[in-house]
């Protein structure tokens, strides 16, 4: 019988107060992991996520940090270590929202924002938390990417270019960290149904037409994929960009 067992592990979920993070964190906890709940602005939701994790019998604390700032990421690492211990499952999930416009119309500041949020978040978090994984000889680094990195549709330039940068970073990391017993993988969500979408009517008929499964996925689908990649069931899965999109995009060989 297969079982996702994360007992004895500590996960840090960046952006754990966000639409996907608030489901990823308790899902990892339901598999046995303790969780460091990171947030930037939404402390109320972060506390709710913490309480969900604790309700599952796991340890959890909330940590505030602006992941664009190296000093705050270093402080985050120290505080997590002091309050919970050494992280060995790192989920890079935080994201910032911008209005999508054409390349000619997109403000240059939006590109800078997306670069720092989507790509540099990964760089800074890895630099802060991976050294202890190397010392332990075991670790999981999981990036939440996007189907947009394959689509590259009009209006996606700032977001997609930053996420494609994240993909390059994680492919290099997979080669660099593999010898240390650390797997590095990415989960690429499609347009998932999350709490936000459940509360609002969505005009998604055109999107669903392009999905072979003819529906949108759920936030839980992303959380399940992250939990699997964090587990020993995925011990030989490495360097993967995994679309969880119902077939809306398919990674080429």
Q: What is the pLDDT of residues 144-155, one digit of tens each?
A: 999 999 999 999
pTM of the model as a whole: 0.96
Alpha carbon 167 to chain centroid, angstroms: 12
In the prediction, which pLDDT does 253 show?
83
In the prediction, which pLDDT does 198 show?
75
In the prediction, which pLDDT does 51 show?
98
Q: What is the pLDDT of residues 88-139, one digit of tens each?
A: 999 999 999 999 999 999 999 999 999 999 999 999 999 999 999 999 999 9
Residue whose entry in the numeric block shows the structure tokens 């020993």: 232
Domain 10-244, CATH 3.40.50.800 — does that match? no
Pairing between strand 89-92 and 139-144? parallel
- Contact (Cβ atoms closer than 8 angstroms) between residue 1 and residue 80: no
Q: What is the pLDDT of residues 183-197, one digit of tens each?
A: 999 999 999 999 887
* Residue 211 to residue 236: CA distance in whole angstroms: 29
What does the pLDDT average to over 227-244?
98
Is the pLDDT reported for residue 203 higher than 80?
no
* Residue 43 to residue 145: CA distance in whole angstroms: 24
Beta strands in the chain (DSSP E): 10-13, 34-39, 60-64, 89-92, 139-144, 182-189, 241-244
Coil vs helix vs strand at 193 = strand
Is the pLDDT reported for residue 182 higher than 70?
yes
Is the pLDDT reported for residue 14 higher than 70?
yes
Strand partners, 140: 89, 183
Q: Per the residue annotation, which of 39, 111, 159, 241 is the catalytic one?
A: 159
User: What pLDDT band is residue 201 in, cutting at 50, 70 and 90?
Assistant: low
Is the pLDDT reported for residue 252 higher than 90?
no
Q: What is the pLDDT of residues 33-82, one digit of tens each?
A: 999 999 999 999 999 999 999 999 999 999 999 999 999 999 999 999 99
Coil vs helix vs strand at 158 = helix
CA torsion through residues 45, 225, 95, 248, sign: negative
Is the pLDDT reported for residue 29 higher than 90?
yes
The per-residue pLDDT of the chain, averaged, comes to 96
Using DSSP, how many helices (H) and how many strands (E) does the chain show? Answer: 10, 7
Identify the DSSP state of 179: G
In the prediction, which pLDDT does 90 show?
98
Residue whose entry in the numeric block shows the structure tokens 């309050």: 83
State the DSSP string of 75-138: HHHHHHHHHT----EEEE----------TTTS-HHHHHHHIIIIIIHHHHHHHHHHHHHHHHT-
111 is catalytic: no
């Amino acid at each position: 019988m297969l079982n996702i067992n994360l007992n004895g592990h500590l996960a840090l979920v960046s952006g754990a107060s966000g639409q996907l993070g608030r489901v990823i964190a308790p899902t990892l906890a339901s598999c046995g992991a303790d969780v460091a709940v990171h947030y930037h602005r939404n402390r109320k939701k972060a506390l709710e996520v913490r309480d969900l994790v604790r309700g599952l019998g796991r340890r959890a604390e909330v940590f505030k940090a602006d992941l664009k700032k190296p000093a705050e990421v270093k402080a985050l690492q120290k505080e997590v270590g002091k309050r919970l211990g050494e992280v060995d499952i790192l989920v890079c999930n935080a994201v910032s929202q911008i209005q999508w416009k054409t390349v000619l119309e997109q403000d240059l500041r939006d590109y800078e924002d997306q670069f720092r949020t989507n790509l540099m978040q990964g760089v800074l978090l890895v630099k802060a938390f991976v050294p202890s994984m190397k010392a332990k000889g075991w670790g999981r680094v999981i990036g939440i990417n996007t189907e947009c990195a394959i689509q590259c549709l009009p209006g996606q330039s700032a977001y997609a270019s930053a996420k494609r940068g994240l993909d390059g970073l994680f492919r290099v990391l997979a080669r660099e960290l593999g010898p240390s017993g650390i797997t590095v993988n990415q989960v690429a969500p499609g347009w998932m149904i999350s709490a936000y979408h459940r509360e609002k009517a969505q005009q998604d008929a055109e999107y669903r037409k392009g999905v072979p499964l003819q529906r949108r996925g759920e936030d839980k689908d992303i959380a399940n994929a992250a939990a699997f990649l964090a587990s020993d069931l995925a011990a030989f899965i490495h360097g993967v960009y995994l679309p969880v999109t119902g077939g809306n995009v398919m990674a080429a060989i």
